[in-house]
C-alpha cells in the first residue's frame, strides 16, 4: 500500500493550490503482505463510513489537473534545468551565488539515478533530448537548491528586491516560489513553476 499527498504536482501543481487531497494506492493482486482487492474494498468502506468523501468540485478539479500533469511536468522540468544552468554559469568567486545543486546536472553525484530509473513518460522525454543537451543535464523535477554568499541576510535582501516571485513559507500554485527555512542554513529551494524561464533569469540578474 502507498499513501501519497496529491497536492504536490498532481493537484494544482504544488501544495495548497487547487485541491487538498490524499490518495491510497493498493495492489491489484493479493500478496503475502497485502490482501489486494479485499484491502482496497475495506479501505473504501472506511472512507465512506467516516465521511471522508471529497466534493464533486474537488473531484472535478483533481481529474482536470491529473490530465494536464504530464504537460506541466515537462515545462516544470525544462524551466528548472534552464534556470539551474544559468545560475551555475554565473556562480563563482566573484558572484553572489556560491553553489547550485540540481539532480539533473551531469556533474551531480546521483545523475545516473534520473537517467537510468525514470518513469515511462520521463524516459520518453529524456530519449528525445540531443546528445548536447544530455551532456549538460536532464530535466529531473523543478526543485533547485542554491546558496547565496552572505547568509540569511543576503537571501532576504535578494527576494525583497525580486519582482518575479516573493519569499514564501510554502510552495504553491503555478508560480515560481522560493522556500527558505532555518534548517536549510544559508541555502534555499526554488520551485521553478510554469513561469517563463526568461522572467526568472531577469529576476536573478537583479
Grid cell locating 191: 520551485
Interatomic CA distance for residues 116 and 120, integer angstroms: 11
Grid cell locating 173: 500554485
3-state secondary structure of 166: coil
Whole-number pLDDT of residue 13: 47
Interatomic CA distance for residues 200 and 82, integer angstroms: 10
For 122, other C-beta atoms within 10 Å of its C-beta total: 20
Q: What is the largest CA-CA distance in the chain?
A: 62
Please name which of 169, 160, 193, 190 lies closest in space to residue 178, comparing C-alpha atoms: 190
Domains of the chain: residue spans and CATH: 2-61 (no CATH), 76-205 (3.90.1150.10)
Whole-number pLDDT of residue 59: 83
* DSSP tag of 137: B
Grid cell locating 200: 526568472
Under the banding of pLDDT at 50, 70 and 90, the label for residue 206 is low
pTM: 0.65
Interatomic CA distance for residues 204 and 206, integer angstroms: 5
Interatomic CA distance for residues 105 and 202, integer angstroms: 22
Please name the residues in contact with 138: beta carbons below 8 A apart, sequence gap of 6 or more.
Answer: 81, 104, 111, 114, 115, 126, 129
Q: Which of 18-22, 85-89, 143-147, 183-187 has the highest mean pLDDT?
A: 85-89
Among 23-37, 86-100, 103-117, 187-201, name the one with the lowest average pLDDT: 187-201
Among 12-16, 89-93, 141-145, name the one with the lowest average pLDDT: 12-16
Interatomic CA distance for residues 155 and 146, integer angstroms: 10
Amino acid at each position: 500500500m502507498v499513501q501519497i499527498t496529491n497536492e504536490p504536482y498532481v493537484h494544482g501543481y504544488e501544495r495548497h493550490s487547487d485541491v487538498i487531497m490524499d490518495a491510497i494506492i493498493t495492489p491489484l493482486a493479493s500478496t503475502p503482505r497485502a490482501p489486494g482487492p479485499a484491502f482496497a474494498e475495506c479501505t473504501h468502506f472506511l472512507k465512506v463510513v467516516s465521511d471522508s468523501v471529497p466534493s464533486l468540485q474537488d473531484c472535478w478539479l483533481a481529474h482536470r489537473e491529473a490530465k494536464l500533469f504530464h504537460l506541466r511536468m515537462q515545462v516544470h522540468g525544462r524551466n528548472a534545468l534552464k534556470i539551474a544552468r544559468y545560475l551555475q554559469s554565473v556562480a563563482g568567486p566573484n558572484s553572489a551565488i556560491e553553489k547550485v545543486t540540481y539532480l539533473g546536472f551531469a556533474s551531480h553525484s546521483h545523475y545516473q539515478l534520473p537517467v537510468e530509473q525514470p518513469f515511462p513518460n520521463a524516459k520518453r522525454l529524456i530519449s528525445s533530448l540531443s546528445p548536447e543537451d544530455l551532456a549538460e543535464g536532464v530535466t529531473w523535477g523543478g526543485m533547485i537548491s542554491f546558496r547565496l554568499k552572505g547568509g540569511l541576510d543576503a537571501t532576504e535582501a535578494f527576494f525583497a528586491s525580486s519582482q518575479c516571485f516573493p519569499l514564501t513559507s510554502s510552495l504553491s500554485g503555478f508560480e515560481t516560489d522560493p522556500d527558505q527555512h532555518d534548517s536549510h542554513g544559508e541555502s534555499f529551494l526554488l520551485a521553478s513553476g510554469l513561469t517563463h524561464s526568461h522572467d526568472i533569469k531577469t529576476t536573478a540578474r537583479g
